[in-house]
Structure 1
Amino acid sequence: MNHHTDDYIYLDNAATTALSPEVLDEMMPFFTTHYGNPSSTHAQGRVVRTAIERARKKVAELLNTSPAEIFFTSGGTESDNTALRCSVESNDIKHLITSKLEHHAVLHTAEELEKKGKIKISYVNTDAKGNIDYVHLDQLLLNHKGKSLVSLMHGNNEVGTITDIATVGELCEQHQALFHSDTVQTMGYYALDTQAIPVHFLVGSSHKFHGPKGVGFLYLRHSTQIKPFQTGGAQERNMRGGTENAAGIVGLAKALELALSEREAVKNHILTLKKHFIEKLTAIFGSEISFNGESANLEQGLPKVLNVRFPASKELGDMLLFNLDIAKIACSSGSACSSGSNVGSHVLRALNCAGGQPNIRFSFSKYNTLSEIDFVVEKLAEIYEIKMA
Structure 2
Amino acid sequence: MATTSCDVAIVGAGLGGCFLALLLRRRGQRVVVIEQGPSIPSAGADFLKPPGLRVLARHGLAELVERHGLRRDLIRYYHDGEPIRECRFPDGGFLIRPYRELVELIYACCAMEGVEFCFDAAIERVEREGDRIELLTLSDGSRLRADVVVGADGTKSAIRRALDIDQVAMPYDRLLMRVATVPLSASVAQLNRLYFSSGGWLAYLYPLDRDQARVFVGLPPEQDDAVFGGGGASLVDLLRGFVTDSTDAFGSLPAAAWHPIRVSSLRVGAYHKGNAALLGSAAFACHPMTGMGMSYTLYDAEILADVISAAGGDQALLDKLLQARYEPRRQAHRQLIDYGDALATTFHDRRAYLRAFRADLHIYGDEAAPRTTPALQPI
- Say yes or no: TM over 0.5: no
TM-score of the aligned structures, taking structure 2 as reference length: 0.25
Structure with the largest fraction of strand: 2
TM value normalised by structure 1: 0.25
